[in-house]
Amino acid sequence: MSTATPPLGRVAPAARTSVYVEGFSHKNPIPAGCRIGPLLESGSIQGNDPATGKPADTIEAQCRFMLDNVRRIVEAAGGGTQDIVKLTVWMKDRSQRPALNVPWLEMFPDAASRPARHAIIAPELDMGKLIECSFTAWIA
């Protein structure tokens, strides 16, 4: 293991930090997110009911739980929803985007300061999942 100074013009890499959130976990040994310097990337975030650990019964509830998990993860990493740059959403049925828009507008009410969002159809979502997402944040 080298501790040498990086060459001129190169910056020493920041340490990678795993982000875990109580009540939110993956079945595999994967953190909820990973931060290197100001960059935070999440893993897959579902709309699971924290009381049961299972997907909520409706698309509306899954959207709310999912975005609540997004908020909890970015806050656990030291940031806030204002630091989210992009949210990528996978939906079983993209015609259900209005169910996502309600909590989305509550989380990001300012049209001049919303992150980018991309909804992708994902008919292969399983185990009762109707929606899931991942996000990128820049925490200065």
Q: Per CATH, is 16-138 categorized as 3.40.50.1000?
A: no
Domain boundaries, the chain: 16-138
For the stretch 108-137, pLDDT in tens is 999 999 999 999 999 999 989 999 999 999
Question: What per-residue confidence (pLDDT) applies to 2?
Answer: 41
Give the global pTM.
0.88
* E strands in 32-81: 33-36, 39-42, 45-46
Over 90: is that where the pLDDT of 62 sits?
A: yes
Q: Which residues contact 74 (CB under 8 A, 6 or more apart)?
A: 33, 40, 80, 81, 83, 84, 135, 137, 139
For the stretch 84-106, pLDDT in tens is 999 999 999 999 999 999 999 99
At 131, list the tokens. 């929606």
Average pLDDT value for residue range 59-80: 97
- The C-alpha atoms of residue 78 and residue 60 are separated, in whole angstroms, by 28
